């Protein structure tokens, strides 16, 4: 009997426009668009391998999957899987690192350029007749902010943070970073700083770190008090890195200028999330990783992870 492979929540990664064939070649594949918690154990009871994007796999569920030997995370972050419980049960957990680096970085810069140039605002105005009926050849509805000469602060210098830094340098920005890396590990244009300096000196702060118990709410009330009133915050990493209430209050009171975020503390966000009320918090629905190129790479590398495990040479193991 072929090994059973179950994808628990495949819809966001592949809504039908891509192929699961690379996984299907490795066993009996069953793909579910979404799986509520109460159906996880039933759907994965006899699975040899499961793949999850955001479905939580905890100790309780692991005990109900006697045949399970492999968990593939259809993402880079794996905080939705109890990796310690999986290890104790002899279940390998693998993620997919760096599949969406360029896609995520592009999203962060799209937010920043939209905020600094107000591209969407002016486009809407032109289509509503603003330029046709203007007395002048040009008009401006908001300040246009030039990036050259400003300071880009970065928290998290992995693949994404390093790419953000490279582009910031190309824009003529000064680049500072709060990082565990030592100066000789960094290109000359990145200047390491302490946390207080990161917040006080940054004109733009890019949050690019993974989320851990230690850095939850890295951007909190006290950190925001250190920032310039003209500062912009970008986050395409994890929503939990920012205290939503504190950020909303800082935006509302004009203590920082704007935010461009692709992730929130709860996803989908609750209807009363305070950031939804702030006009200068530009929000996209966790789409930074969703370019066609990135999603194809995610599925391909997920299949490669399972194949490597089946051949006895596991890769991208997180537990």
Cα 225 from Cα 199, distance rounded (Å): 9
Q: How many residues does the chain have?
A: 319
**Active-site residue, selected from the candidate residues 63, 267, 270, 277:** 267
Verify whether residue 286 is a known catalytic residue: yes
**CA angle at residue 231 from 230 to 234, to 5 degrees?**
145
Question: In sequence order, what are the residues at sequence separation of 6 or more whose Cβ sits closer than 8 angstroms to the Cβ of residue 97?
Answer: 76, 159, 316
Contact 173, 180 (CB under 8 A): no
Active site residue: 43, 111, 238, 282, which one? 238
Work out the end-to-end distance of the chain between its first and last CA atoms, rounded to an integer number of angstroms: 28
SS3 label, residue 73: strand
Our CA dihedral for 75, 79, 84, 85, rounded to 10 degrees, sits at -90
Integer Cα distance of 312 and 250 in angstroms: 52
CB 5 within 8 A of CB 31: no
User: Would residue 191 show up in a list of annotated catalytic residues for this protein?
Assistant: no
Q: Is 253 a catalytic residue?
A: no
Catalytic residues: 238, 267, 286
């Amino acid at each position: 009997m072929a090994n059973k492979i179950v994808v628990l929540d495949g819809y966001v990664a592949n809504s039908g426009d891509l192929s699961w064939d690379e996984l299907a070649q490795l066993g009996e594949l069953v793909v579910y668009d979404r799986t509520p918690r109460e159906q996880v154990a039933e759907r994965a009871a006899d699975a040899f391998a499961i793949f999850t994007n955001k479905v939580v796999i905890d100790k309780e569920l692991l005990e109900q999957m006697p045949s399970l030997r492999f968990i593939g995370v259809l993402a880079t972050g794996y905080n939705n899987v109890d990796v310690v419980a999986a290890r104790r049960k002899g279940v390998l957990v693998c993620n997919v690192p760096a599949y969406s680096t360029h896609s995520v970085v592009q999203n962060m810069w799209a937010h920043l350029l939209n905020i600094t140039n107000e591209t969407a605002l002016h486009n809407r105005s032109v289509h509503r007749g603003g330029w046709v009926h203007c007395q002048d050849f040009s008009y401006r509805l908001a300040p246009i902010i030039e990036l050259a000469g400003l300071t880009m602060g970065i928290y998290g210098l992995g693949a994404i943070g390093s790419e953000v830094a490279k582009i910031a340098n190309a824009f003529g920005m000064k680049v500072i970073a709060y990082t565990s890396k030592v100066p000789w590990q960094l290109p000359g244009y990145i200047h390491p700083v302490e946390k207080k300096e990161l917040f006080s000196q940054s004109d733009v702060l890019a949050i690019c770190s993974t989320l851990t118990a230690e850095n939850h709410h890295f951007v909190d009330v006290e950190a925001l008090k250190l920032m310039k009133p003209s500062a912009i915050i970008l986050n395409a990493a994890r929503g939990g890195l920012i205290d939503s209430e504190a950020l909303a209050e800082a935006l509302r009171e004009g203590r920082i200028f704007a935010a461009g975020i692709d992730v929130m503390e709860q996803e989908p966000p609750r209807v009363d999330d305070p950031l939804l009320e702030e006009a200068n918090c530009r929000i996209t629905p966790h789409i930074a990783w969703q370019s066609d190129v990135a999603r194809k790479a995610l599925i391909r590398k997920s299949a490669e992870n399972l194949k490597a495990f089946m051949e006895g040479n596991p890769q991208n193991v997180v537990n």
